[in-house]
Amino acid sequence: MAKQRAPHLVVFTGAGISAESGIQTFRASDGLWADHAIEDVATLDAWRRDPERVLRFYDMRRDQVRRAVPNAAHQALASLEQQGFRVSVITQNIDDLHERAGSRRVLHLHGEILKARSSIDPRLYYPLPRGDIALGDLCDKGSQLRPDVVWFGEAVPHFADACEIAAEADLLLVVGTSLAVMPAASLLEHAPLDAPCVLVDPEANALAPPGVARISQPAGQGVLALVHHWTHEGRLWLPETLLE
């Protein structure tokens, strides 16, 4: 007799989950982006015009990530996986907080700040456990290294992989995202029609599309409560007492 497949929780996270670890979003008025125009630091044209400026900006972001620590939401999701639940994380975030919390199946849609990659061959990646990227740092094919981040206007290379993961969800948990960044926001359309979906965000009532359940709480509070219910019951479900 074939072994029954364990229910699959697919978690889609955005900047709101990392903000609780002190990593400011680019929309924050006091964030790293506040003094930088997007077109000057986060586009391919900016890289071609002034690569040194772009590298300095991402040095600041990298430093912020290294100083941050996983928060209660990251830790709760990792604990769920460690207790035998099948969990896949798809994140828009370029930090490594999910991994540092202990999550093992994490797909970064927009790249990873603690990696460099070739300017000419996106298959060539280089980890950056320490240090930054300087002009003159070259890949194995002799081209300048750049941050492993998806800049505005660039394709999202792992989007097809994310769609395949979403298509296998038994429950979709969305945390800390406005669901406004495309194409990532369309991931909800790839989940099975019978898979419940819940959004955890302080602005969930305003952000949630029709048919999506809402928990209007910060990531740490809302995710922790859900994980408590799931581990107590040993199954994935939507507790009515938490939903708006």
Span 187-213, average pLDDT: 90
In the numeric block, which tokens belong to residue 64? 């912020």
Does 231 have pLDDT greater than 80? yes
1 — pLDDT class (breaks 50, 70, 90): very low
Q: Is 158 a catalytic residue?
A: no
**Distance, CA of 46 to CA of 43 (rounded, Å):** 5
Which one of 36, 110, 158, 190 is the catalytic residue?
110
Does 119 have pLDDT greater than 60? yes
pLDDT digits (tens, 9 = 90+) for 76-97: 999 999 999 999 999 999 999 9
Average per-residue pLDDT for the chain: 90
**Structural domains present in the chain:** 1-23+71-110+158-244 (3.40.50.1220), 25-67+117-149 (3.30.1600.10)
Check residue 32 and give its pLDDT.
58
Span 138-145, average pLDDT: 95
Check residue 184 and give its pLDDT.
64
CA distances from 74 to 18, 136, 152, 177, 193 (A): 9, 36, 26, 15, 27
Give me the amino acid identity at 207. Answer: L
Check residue 30 and give its pLDDT.
57
Check residue 28 and give its pLDDT.
54
Does 48 have pLDDT greater than 80? yes
pLDDT digits (tens, 9 = 90+) for 19-43: 999 997 665 555 555 667 788 899 9
Beta carbons of 27 and 21 less than 8 angstroms apart: no
**Distance, CA of 128 to CA of 27 (rounded, Å):** 26
Chain centroid offset of residue 104 CA:
14
**Distance, CA of 77 to CA of 189 (rounded, Å):** 23
Q: Which of 135-139, 181-185, 199-203 is predicted least confidently?
A: 181-185
Closest C-alpha among 84, 127, 78, 126 to residue 105: 78
Span 172-194, average pLDDT: 84
Does 194 have pLDDT greater than 50? yes
Check residue 2 and give its pLDDT.
44
Check residue 31 and give its pLDDT.
58
Q: Which residues make beta-bridge pairs with 108?
A: 91
DSSP letters spanning 81-140: HHTT-EEEEEES--S-HHHHHT---EEETTEEEEEEEESS-TT-EEE-SSS---TT-B-T
Check residue 33 and give its pLDDT.
59
Check residue 167 and give its pLDDT.
96
Check residue 188 and give its pLDDT.
87
Q: Which residues make beta-bridge pairs with 89?
A: 11, 106
